[in-house]
Each structure stands twice: as structure tokens, then as C-alpha cells.
Structure 1
């Protein structure tokens, strides 16, 4: 990107390329400002969302933090403008090192100013540019909607977790909170029935924010979700629209079960595999079809040294070829040399490229929603190893609804031992049902994203209404 301009009296700059692109049909009267929360779980789907809009001829401006902008490594369309502002956390927010409340407060303060200045500047440039006509913001960031509303700009949230999780939060805040709290504290194995959900949940299947025993650094997110739901119902006369990164086939009931909201499935927002040759491609090419175990816990999960050693033991004892993403900040002790005899260890990889490789047989994952969708889109069965937030519910969907994998069970100390990891890997790699179901969902995901599919049609209808 080249530096386009520095706004006077502001702390952000616009990074863009010259507009040399033309569209077959134009919707340039519609200019969407897309605010992205600075977390990888939000950045990836929001970027895909922006690209889909641009292909429809919509003008899109992304506004996010300096840290988030640095995390965007994928190719950017020429006509996409990205505005980066500093929230004081340019190296990123680190759990344990930083105060979550301070981070949320600074993000809100600096983000509000950036959004207000962008909207105001676009309106003042009337006749020269395209005024911002709508704000889309990643979930839980209601302050962004409030800023836009104060400037008479309507807004829509982009929910980047499954519709099932939205559904659970809705009922938790609307009459079922006491019942859920009671079950999670007195009898964690007691089944919890939530209206309209076709599956029974226990404490371990709920989003971790709802389980008091989890001393959770994400506790600030729960009030944000409550504020999100209340704001939408307070400010909209018709059932408020919520764009959801899912598709109809995988969540047909949860998408329609709450009459007060209009949940619009505009997923799966997953990037296509790239054609770039990576260092590890040759290794994958040398392995038989459906033989490789791929292990990755996303960009945020930090596992203890003991848990890392147990994963290493489970992988080595399975005697299957594996590819394990271990970030440079993670500890594996003296096991690295032994691991490299049985597999390959990398600090980073293009996950969609790896999952779409024919040698992949199974994905050991933290069950973040992006990873879960990427696995479904690629047709790869999973071993679910959830840690927090929505991952626990995603693992339930994988195991009991889509039936594309199994979930590990930790011991009393909360550690998943090597034997359990080996057992789950062998179960998934040897189970024809998992492979058959994974192929079924892959075909349905492919149908959703093709031209004329649900992603295309629902997004076009949303833009037409704007």
C-alpha cells in the first residue's frame, strides 16, 4: 500500500491503491464503512466479506487498528481502502500482560474518533467522492453503531461466530440465565434445554463466558454481547438484521429460531486456497492421500508446556505423519528433534492451503469458528480440542450435529493426556462415517459459495435494500 494522505488533527492514515478497477455493474452509491475488531478471528472473515462486496461493485472502506492492519497478509483488492488508527496497542493486546478493561476502553475511545472523522469527512466531500452510507461492524462493538447513529448513518453487525452461539447468548440474557448458572455451578453434567435448539447441552458445551468456573480473561466480552443484543432491539422497529458467518445447511434451525432477529447467513467467509508454493508443500506432496494429521491452535491460544508435551506424545505414539504449527513463542522442550523424525513442525502456514491438500486426513484444532468453517469447506474431519469462548460450542456442533469429528476429554487437572489424543486421532482417521460426513458438508459449503448460492443471493439482497 502507498500512503494516500494524512488527515489533519487525527491519529490515523489512509492506506490505499489508485482506483483502476471497473465493475460490470455498479453499486457505488452504496459506500460501506467496515469496522473490524483487532483479532485474527474477526480480521479473516471481515476481509472476505469486504472482497465479496467489492465484487458486487460496492465501495468499501475498512477501519481498524494499526495492529490489525499489520495482520492483514492476504492480497488486497486495488479498490479497497484501509484506514488504520492507533489504539495504543500497536503490538497487539496480550492476555495476562495487559488489562482487558483498559484495552476495551482505549479501543472504544480511539475507534469512535476515527469512525466519526471518516463519516464526517466523506459527507463533507460531497460531489468529489462517495459519502459513507452504511456501517458494518464486527460483533460486540456496539459503540461503533452508536457513533454512526449519532451521524445518521445506519449500521448492521457482522456476527463471526455460529448462529447457535448467538441463540445461546440471546436466551441467557432473556430468561434462561439463572437456569444456566444453576446448572453450571451445581451439576455440570445436567443437560440444559434451550428453546428452539435441537440439541441438549451440558456445561462443557456452553460458550465458556457463561461458565463461572472458567476464570476467563474474556469476561469483558459478555457485557458487550448483552449490550449488542439490547441495542439492536431498542433501536430497530423491524426485527434487526444480523449478518452471520454461517450457511443455511449447517444451522437451519438456529438461523430462524429467534423471531425478534433477522439472522442472515452470508458465509462461509473462507478464503480460497492460494496457488503459492510453500516450503511445506513438498513434504505434503510426498504423503499418501488422507494420511496426514494437521495440528494447529490458531493465533491466540497459549498451551502449557505440559500440554504441549502430551500432544507431542500422542502424535508420536500414533505413528502417523503430522504437521504441527508451533509458534516461536511456544515451548516444546527437548522433543523437537524426535518430532521432526515423525512429522514436520512449522511456525506458521496458510491453513486453507494445508486443509485443501489431498494428503490431509484429520485436523486437531482448538475449534475457533474460522478453523471449524475452513475444515468443513475443505472436507477434513476434526479432533476438537476447544479452549474458551465459542470453541466449546463449536466442538459440540462438530461432534454431535455435523458428526465430522470427536472431542478430546481432559483429565481432572484439565490436561488432555497423550493416550487420549492418540485415541481420538485414531478414531477419526479410521472412521469412514467422519470422512463421509465431511465430504457431504464440503459439497454443501461449495454450493453456498458458488455464484447464485446463498452467500451471493443473501449478500445481494442485503446490498439492494441499502
Structure 2
């Protein structure tokens, strides 16, 4: 096998970096040397990681070095393409001059210009999907240059609802599609621009591999529809620190097996006061112990814990992967970010999906109607879920009965698939080895 030096570039939000870090580690395990790079504004997240053999870190400027929230501004993608392209090329050339020649560039979804930089420098490249193959298939159906729904209908009325059918999958209504890909979303113009660039690059470079963070058989038709696809999942965080003595782990240790409702909405979701109140009341009225993660200040969390009493525990942060694998966890109420859904599958925990934005809506649809490992909460105006709906969904998953048993069987199925993929000699490492051997 060729001894590759891979440059893997990612944007800096945790949802992008976490799977990128794990992919980088796995690539080193099959013999590659990897440099993982992100924007200067997010570089501190990499510098804080424990050292790992054959893994190093670098950064490039996106023109917003002092603003880690720049990506939330519409139009940012144009700055990123213009300045990122120039600075990425400089980084690659500088590394080459110092004896660290790059032999393969891997770039995450939402960085399509990186492929063009690699082509200009005569370096092979691969696209890394940090979302599902299904989401990417939806983007293709909406934005491809031949018959994409929004390409053909450039002036589509965002008030008119529409549905979308993909091979082997149920009908996707408008509320099931990634929110940023809808015309009435403020990020629609950016999403259109980025996805059209991705699809155009793949059309012009048909030998480019597409690495997909998914499980074998989980998205069969969607993976099959992507040319040169390579399944490289499940990419679940293995950079865990010794935190078992944190108070919330001590609290979990006191709970019965499969008794606790774990509630967490990721690093970017922001709940309104009404959303938090309804969720909290639903949890209290369900009368099962719960661990609720809310990104509030310590004073507010202390006040909420007094209000909850002994019915549950509220914390400002937790080690999600380790919590999901704790024996006491019965189900996971989540925003359905792809990393969180995949972590729940690996841990063998049923999902109650409360999607808020981006691809979360699509993931929640798949959880309930395709993968069968959970249910999706119904929401009202302003994405608010009422406490009765919270209790209904928890009862479906935890209350016994035929549907709960069906969910349990599907949860066990996907956990077994994940275990077989990551074991010694499993398909995860084999796929990576074959991929690297094919790159010249």
C-alpha cells in the first residue's frame, strides 16, 4: 500500500470536526500519515486533543480569524471559497517545501472548492460526507445541473409545498427535507451555491471517491446511488478522557438499568424558553428519572435542579458518547444531528427525535419510518412541542407493547451491525485500506 500523507480539512463546528477527527485516527490505523486542518478561528479545538501517532494539526484562514460564528452569516460561503482556496493552496505548497508532501486531500461536505484546489495542484481528492447518504441524495435531487428541482424551477414559490421521492424510500414531504435546502430559509442561497458546486465537481471528476459516515445496509439505495462511494462509518468519538467521577456519572450509577431518559440537543441548537419548559414538564410528568443537558449558566441550572427535586438531573454539559453507553440509559431524546443518531445506534439506545434545523428533520424521518429505531416528536407553531407529546413519545419507546418491542429489535439490529463493522477485521478498516490502495 502507498504510504499516504493525507490532508483532511473540515469546518470547525463540533458536528464537522468530531467525525473528521475519528476518520483521521482510523486512517492512521491503516498506515497513513494525516494532517487535520480547520479554520484559524476553530484551531484551538484541535490543539486541545491528546496526541496521536501519525496525526498532526494545521489551520487555514477563512478571512474571519477572530469570529468563530462567521459561518452563521448568510454569504459566508463566498468568503470561504475565495480566501479558503488561496490559503489552502498556500498551506499545501508550504508543507510540500518542508518535506511534508500531500498525496491525498479529503474535504468535508460544505467545502466544495477544496476539490478544485486539489485538482489544480494535481493531488487526488475525496469528498467526506458528514451527513447521511440520504441527505446527499436529496441535495442531488434538488440541485443537480440536469434535472434538479430547484435548478429547473429557479423561481419556485416557497409557499407551495412539494414532496420528493427517492428510490427505496418513503415519500419525503417538505417538512422532512433539510431546512437549509428550502427556499424560505435564509441560508437557501448559500446551500444552493455549495451543493451545486459539490455536484458539479463530482460530475467533472467522476473518479473522485465519496466517503460516507454510515452503517452497512442502513442506507442501501442512497449509498448505491452515489458513484465511487465508500462506507467509512460508524465514526464515533474515541477521544474520551477520564471523567467517570463527574457528578452526573455518580448519579447515573445510582439508577436502575434501562431506566433513565437522556435528553441532549447538541452543541449548536438553541431552545426557546417555551420549548425548554414544555420538555421539562413532560419529563417530570412522565415520572422516570432523566438526565437533561441544557447550555445554561450554573445559577440557572442550580435553580432548575431545585425545581426538579429528585426526579432528574440537569447539567450544562456531558460526555455524550459515554453517557449513551451507560447501563442506566433507556432512550435518547435528541435533535437528531447525524453524529448523535449514529452514536445512539452504536450504543444500542432508542431515539425520540425532536429535530430543529438542517438535516435533523431528514434524520428524524428516517429514524421513525425507515430505520425503525425510534419515534419523531410532533411539533406545533414555532417548533414547540407540548408536554403531552413528549410523554406520548416516551411511552411509545419505554412503555412496552408491540411497537416498543419492534423498536427494541431494530435498535439491537443496528447495534450488532455497528459492532461487526468496527471489530478487528471488520468492514470499516477493510474499506479504508481498499480505498487508500486505489488512490494513486
TM-score (norm 1): 0.85
Deviation sequence 1:299-338 (CA, Å, 0-9, x none): 0011111111111111111111111111136978964421
Aligned partners of 1:383, 1:451: CA distance in 2, in Å? Answer: 32
Aligned partners of 2:223, 2:114: CA distance in 1, in Å? Answer: 24
Aligned partners of 2:206, 2:312: CA distance in 1, in Å? Answer: 57
Aligned partners of 2:13, 2:414: CA distance in 1, in Å? Answer: 27
Deviation sequence 1:94-153 (CA, Å, 0-9, x none): 67xx6332x33443344334321222123324xxx3411110011121222222222211
* Aligned twin of 2:149: 177
Could you tell me which runs of 5 or more consecutive residues in structure 1 were left unpaired when the two chains were aligned. 1-25
Deviation sequence 1:62-98 (CA, Å, 0-9, x none): 1212333223454331431101244424451167xx6
* Aligned twin of 1:345: 314
- Which segment drifts farther, 449-458 or 223-232? 449-458
- CA gap of 1:340–1:116, structure 2 versus 1, over 3 A, is farther
Aligned partners of 1:184, 1:147: CA distance in 2, in Å? Answer: 35
Q: 2:97 aligns with which of 108, 111, 124?
A: 124
Could you tell me which runs of 5 or more consecutive residues in structure 2 were left unpaired when the two chains were aligned. none
Aligned partners of 1:440, 1:273: CA distance in 2, in Å? Answer: 26
Q: 2:58 aligns with which of 79, 83, 86?
A: 83
Q: 2:278 aligns with which of 304, 307, 310?
A: 310
Aligned partners of 2:181, 2:92: CA distance in 1, in Å? Answer: 36
* Aligned twin of 2:375: 406
SS at match of 1:46: helix
Q: 1:48 aligns with which of 1, 11, 22?
A: 22
Asked whether 1:440 is paired with 2:392, we answer: no
8 Å contact kept, 2:356–2:383: no
* Aligned twin of 1:266: 232
Q: 2:9 aligns with which of 35, 39, 43?
A: 35
* Aligned twin of 1:253: 221
- CA gap of 1:99–1:198, structure 2 versus 1, over 3 A, is closer
**How many equivalent residue pairs?**
426
Deviation sequence 1:195-217 (CA, Å, 0-9, x none): x233221111111123334x344
* Aligned twin of 1:186: 160
- Which segment drifts farther, 72-81 or 316-325? 72-81
- CA gap of 1:219–1:38, structure 2 versus 1, over 3 A, is farther
- CA gap of 1:275–1:433, structure 2 versus 1, over 3 A, is farther
8 Å contact kept, 1:312–1:335: no
8 Å contact kept, 2:368–2:374: yes
Asked whether 1:282 is paired with 2:250, we answer: yes
Aligned partners of 1:56, 1:70: CA distance in 2, in Å? Answer: 27
Aligned partners of 1:363, 1:82: CA distance in 2, in Å? Answer: 33
Deviation sequence 1:401-448 (CA, Å, 0-9, x none): 111111111123431111111111121112222222111110101111
Asked whether 1:225 is paired with 2:225, we answer: no
Asked whether 1:60 is paired with 2:34, we answer: yes
Q: 1:455 aligns with which of 420, 428, 431?
A: 428
- CA gap of 1:108–1:357, structure 2 versus 1, over 3 A, is same
* Aligned twin of 2:181: 210
Q: RCO greater where, 1 or 2, for CA within 8 Å and sep 6 or more?
A: 2
Deviation sequence 1:221-272 (CA, Å, 0-9, x none): 33201111111212x244x3211111222111111135xx222111111124
Aligned-pair distance for 1:59? 0.9
Aligned-pair distance for 1:54? 0.7
- CA gap of 1:183–1:216, structure 2 versus 1, over 3 A, is closer
* Aligned twin of 2:169: 198
TM-score (norm 2): 0.90
Equivalent residues in 2 for 1:98-137, closer than 5 Å:
99-101=73-75, 103-125=76-98, 129-137=99-107
Aligned partners of 1:384, 1:201: CA distance in 2, in Å? Answer: 17
Aligned partners of 2:188, 2:387: CA distance in 1, in Å? Answer: 28
Superposition CA RMSD, Å:
2.5
SS at match of 2:42: helix
* Greater per-residue helix proportion: 2
